[in-house]
Chain A
């Protein structure tokens, strides 16, 4: 009995640990997408943030400096995305993909040049990492709590504030916002910057909280899973949070199941288990998202008539 209980709590803790970067990333992406700027580049922003967090923490010895560097790195990419998509009305998907490719390449090149460890940063210890606060085993570092707070915060900001109202409007009918005398560009830039902030925190979590250092491609598609969570959640913060938890739970179960012999099935191949979140993404995307509820102007650059 006690064993079962501890198994459940351990799984739940693991769920939360795995879901944290997804939640942070999804909340960031929500801001961007609600404003009408698609963000395929979440993955790249997170990866870049993870690298700079670990690199800075390793060089300065301070985890907090790492967090700051992570946010800064993600914001630079966010501004780049904004510059391409808002100021120059470029294609948002192309810009996002470019950011992902840039991040993938740059982190490895800089890592190799600065640390010479095949793209990895030196292992982090002690204060170079964000450590658990109450339960050392559970890994409840500050960013886990941050992610939990990010959800009600995002909901409140979008549903209850002037900024949120304008944000929702600009993603649906930017012309209406413009006609009301509000700057479409500035509103979208703020959304993109918020997105950068959250993606930065998510990246920092990966390299200096959950793990002890950066390794190449360590985001492993989590930015895309966060994007999928936004879609499952139909661009609403709380359901998107639920989707992140579901992915987290699946991952946690997958880790538990490794090497376990199931009656009648035998040992489940590790590869299959690891593929589960991605299979679920495909399955849900294909089956569950019938009618689109995406912000109407998402992906469409705003242009005034002549």
Chain B
């Protein structure tokens, strides 16, 4: 066993942690080798973030010990962790938008009661780090004006500036374009070569395989496997994460396209402040095809779905869905769209997809509550709704199969399956889907994608918006790329690759 002889920067022994009745981490022991990149993978709720939060002093373990450089240490707060040379780059950036880069960098390590000297020292140090690691950022830029990739670099610099020799990154690529992700991985390699120990928490197997030396797989709070990256592959890791075989490749027959069911012409949307959210959007979705919209989040995808589902009226242009023309002077409401056969699975599940405090059975008819057989003469028929929900749960494998449970008690994946079931059960002609698998675990991802393809094969026109490029690539028959409220490119699924799409997503190239 080579692992045991290697020099450990961190060792966790028998770490155990519960939140109330949830046993988040169960007696986990891991060793992180010095000067290496170690990946920690697992589904949502597998305990990987909790474990790292314990290491960083954000939570206290119920049992177990932490060793840094072979010596047992107390981690009562992030301050202790920083003192031991451990730094953490959080998934959600901990930056003050209105501050300059320099001000953000010194926060918490100002080097004295007056700022002037600390700021000057940080400026010098920043220049050194830029030289050593190739991490360049304008120290006087306001963080709000930086791109997401640059903001992440500030986060990494912040940690290095505190003298961290052990760097923990929690889902660092969640908000990055593929190019920015590549850049990040490059930076991590440089850091490793300079002796920094890196721990990468992610659920993206591509990154794990690209950059790590060792992978630790967690499932239900336990470490289920440790692998040398060279000795493993994506299928193997996915199986370990889920606990059963996972198929990545969707069996998909070529699309049999029918008539156009959804067509938008020169759609635009301008908000109250005059900001152009959608700009001259034209697209078509035919029966029997899946059109995917790729793009970094916040480039108008949300607004496009809102307009097409009737939530917001367009400011200009028009669209036609199932024969109904909609423009600024002839708006439509979501209920009418549903009547026309346009179903919508919103991207923000908890705000628009369901009411967390409602029962699952209520969620299963939301939007259709005034129809037979759920409702007779303005009175809801509880037993009928419950039975309907139980049927849906059976068909869409929603677990647990309890219509009387609160919607909020289900996991993200099962909530999503329930919403999808609700919208798909009525055999819609057009299906609008936003982020079908955001925050959904691998097993459910597989199921949801297959259902979408099944719906396509049944002759539905499907429009999928997703920030996960891999998802778009596996689902869509045609791919549109959105950037800054416009459609900047269209690619047929067969000809698409991550690199070209990534460039379009960054607005660098129009096809």
If A163-B113, A166-B108, A180-B94 are given as contacts, then 12 extra A-B residue pairs at C-beta distance below 8 Å, sorted by A number, are A162-B112, A165-B103, A165-B106, A165-B115, A166-B107, A172-B98, A173-B96, A177-B107, A179-B94, A180-B108, A180-B109, A181-B77
Known A180-B108, A181-B79: A173·B95 in contact at CB below 8 Å: yes
Cβ of B114 under 8 Å from chain A: yes
Contact B110 A162 (CB under 8 A): yes
Cβ of A63 under 8 Å from chain B: no
A295 to B112, CA, bound (A): 25
Cβ of B88 under 8 Å from chain A: yes
Which of chain B's residues 72-109 have a Cβ closer than 8 Å to chain A? 77-79, 82, 88, 90, 92, 94-99, 103-104, 106-109
Cβ of B4 under 8 Å from chain A: no
Which of chain B's residues 95-150 have a Cβ closer than 8 Å to chain A? 95-99, 103-104, 106-110, 112-116, 118
Contact A162 B99 (CB under 8 A): no
Contact A168 B96 (CB under 8 A): yes
A304 to B59, CA, bound (A): 10
Which of chain B's residues 237-264 have a Cβ closer than 8 Å to chain A? none
A162 to B109, CA, bound (A): 9
- Map CB proximity to A onto B56-80 as digits: 1 under 8 Å, 0 otherwise: 0010000000000000000001110
Which of chain A's residues have a CB closer than 8 A to the CB of B378?
none
Question: A175 — nearest CB in chain B belongs to which residue?
Answer: B94
Contact A162 B96 (CB under 8 A): no
Contact size range, A: 20 to 34
Cβ of A87 under 8 Å from chain B: no
Select the residue from B88, B104, B108 with max chain A CB neighbours within 10 A: B108
Which of chain B's residues have a CB closer than 8 A to the CB of A176?
94-96, 104, 107
Contact B82 A181 (CB under 8 A): yes
Cβ of A127 under 8 Å from chain B: no
Cβ of A169 under 8 Å from chain B: yes
Which of chain B's residues have a CB closer than 8 A to the CB of A162?
110, 112-115, 118
On A, residues with C-beta under 8 Å from B are: 160-166, 168-169, 172-173, 175-182, 296, 304, 306
Nearest 4 pairs between A and B by C-beta?
Answer: A180-B108, A181-B79, A176-B94, A162-B110
Which of chain B's residues have a CB closer than 8 A to the CB of A166?
107-108, 110
Q: Smallest distance from the beta carbon of A157 to chain B beta carbons, Å? A: 10
Contact B113 A168 (CB under 8 A): no
Within 8 Å by CB of A173, from B94, B109, B113, B115, lies B94
Contact B113 A180 (CB under 8 A): no
Which of chain A's residues have a CB closer than 8 A to the CB of B104?
176
A181 to B79, CA, bound (A): 5
Which of chain B's residues 197-234 have a Cβ closer than 8 Å to chain A? none
Contact A168 B99 (CB under 8 A): yes
Q: Smallest distance from the beta carbon of A170 to chain B beta carbons, Å? A: 9
Which of chain A's residues have a CB closer than 8 A to the CB of B58?
304
A180 to B113, CA, bound (A): 16
Known A179-B78, A181-B82, A306-B19: A169·B107 in contact at CB below 8 Å: yes
A306 to B106, CA, bound (A): 28
Contact B78 A161 (CB under 8 A): no
A181 to B58, CA, bound (A): 10
Which of chain B's residues have a CB closer than 8 A to the CB of A181?
77-79, 82, 108
Question: A163 — nearest CB in chain B belongs to which residue?
Answer: B113
Which of chain A's residues have a CB closer than 8 A to the CB of B79?
181
Contact B98 A179 (CB under 8 A): no
Contact A160 B114 (CB under 8 A): yes
Question: B95 — nearest CB in chain A belongs to which residue?
Answer: A176
Which of chain B's residues have a CB closer than 8 A to the CB of A164?
115
Which of chain B's residues have a CB closer than 8 A to the CB of A160?
114-116
Which of chain A's residues have a CB closer than 8 A to the CB of B99?
168-169, 172
Which of chain B's residues have a CB closer than 8 A to the CB of A173?
94-97
Known A162-B115, A180-B78, A182-B108: A172·B94 in contact at CB below 8 Å: no
Which of chain A's residues have a CB closer than 8 A to the CB of B107?
165-166, 169, 176-177, 180
A282 to B283, CA, bound (A): 49
Which of chain B's residues have a CB closer than 8 A to the CB of A306?
19
Which of chain A's residues have a CB closer than 8 A to the CB of B94?
173, 175-176, 179-180
Which of chain A's residues have a CB closer than 8 A to the CB of B114?
160-162
A161 to B111, CA, bound (A): 11
Known A161-B115, A165-B103: A179·B90 in contact at CB below 8 Å: yes
Contact B113 A172 (CB under 8 A): no
Which of chain A's residues have a CB closer than 8 A to the CB of B106?
165
A127 to B27, CA, bound (A): 72
Select the residue from B79, B96, B114, B118 with max chain A CB neighbours within 10 A: B96
Q: Smallest distance from the beta carbon of A49 to chain B beta carbons, Å? A: 29
Q: Smallest distance from the beta carbon of A288 to chain B beta carbons, Å? A: 17
Question: A156 — nearest CB in chain B belongs to which residue?
Answer: B114
Question: B88 — nearest CB in chain A belongs to which residue?
Answer: A179
Q: List 18 A-B contacts (CB under 8 A).
A: A160-B114, A161-B114, A162-B110, A162-B113, A163-B113, A166-B108, A169-B107, A172-B96, A173-B94, A173-B97, A176-B94, A176-B104, A177-B107, A177-B108, A180-B107, A180-B108, A181-B78, A181-B79
Question: A182 — nearest CB in chain B belongs to which residue?
Answer: B108
Which of chain A's residues have a CB closer than 8 A to the CB of B19?
306
Which of chain A's residues have a CB closer than 8 A to the CB of B78?
178-181
A296 to B143, CA, bound (A): 15
A213 to B24, CA, bound (A): 63
